[in-house]
Structure 1
């Protein structure tokens, strides 16, 4: 008997269950900060590899236009509400106003905002980095860290310098790391 493929949201739930168990074990052994860092390294590696696979599937090679189609995979199953989705020149602007991923991790699974950000939001930068060295991400806040929306700005630049996104903090804070629990 074959089963239909899992949606991205369902896949992320399964992954999050395993990562939550890993976090608990790593936390006991090394503390929360080190546990988040180790899980973040694994998330980055997988997301960067996924970005490379997505780029390899681009019919005419990586481009901002092709990259923008990834959101269709992420919103499957009514996982996201998007207020703005547009490409203007070298910028892909995407404003997500409802994120079922964040809701699932924090409200349904009881994960901390820090762990939710690490296993979900953190992957956005690594995915972009894997997709192309020409792609940069700017995002001031996320829903998982208390923001009212996730304002993504992906910029295609020819100078191959990749700048890392500063992890957002709770909406009112300006710290450069995910919020502390």
Structure 2
């Protein structure tokens, strides 16, 4: 399924994915160990996210940072799924902090908190690569690691 085909909001999509993946994660852990399970899961989910990024850019007909801000932020935070504060939004720069994240709450509820970064956070780079490989993300803090916020810092190489 690509981004454009998703008939549900983003959090619901992640809930469905996690519920399907949970038994597979546990089986992979049992057979291959936790680190190999995480590596395999990350590879698969990054592939999906990269394609989602490509599909969004294609659907929008553009892939600049403004298009990213105007379309991706509402998708992620839609229906109040995040508390998000934009710190800077200028040509070539987008900086915001997420101080509350229902995605993390979801993974806790499902007993997958230790996989929150693989199931959600780490996919942001692959999505961005698919959307526009000239955009960069730096995120040194995440709620999933116990930090006070997820500090998103996007820049454009062009």
Could you state the TM-score of these two structures normalised by the residue count of structure 1? 0.79
CA deviations 1:18-57 (Å, max 9, x no partner) are 1221110111110000000000001100000000001112
CA deviations 1:111-147 (Å, max 9, x no partner) are 133x111010011111001111111110002111111
Report how far residue 85 of structure 1 moved. 5.0
Q: How many residues align?
A: 151
Q: Quote the RMSD (CA, aligned, Å).
A: 1.2
Provide the secondary structure at the position in 1 that maps to 2:80.
coil
Q: Which runs of 5+ in 2 are unaligned?
A: 1-6
For residues 112 and 95 of structure 1, the distance between their equivalents in structure 2, rounded to whole angstroms, comes to: 20
Contact in 2 for aligned 1:9/1:77 (Cα 8 Å): no
Contact in 1 for aligned 2:142/2:148 (Cα 8 Å): yes
For residues 24 and 141 of structure 2, the distance between their equivalents in structure 1, rounded to whole angstroms, comes to: 26
Runs of 4+ in 1 over 6 A off after TM superposition: none
Which of 53, 56, 71 is the equivalent residue of 1:51? Answer: 53
Higher relative contact order (CA 8 A, sep 6+): 2
Provide the secondary structure at the position in 2 that maps to 1:76.
helix
Which structure has the greater CA radius of gyration? 1
Could you state the TM-score of these two structures normalised by the residue count of structure 2? 0.90
Query: Counterparts of 1:88-99 in structure 2 under 5 Å?
Result: 88-99=90-101
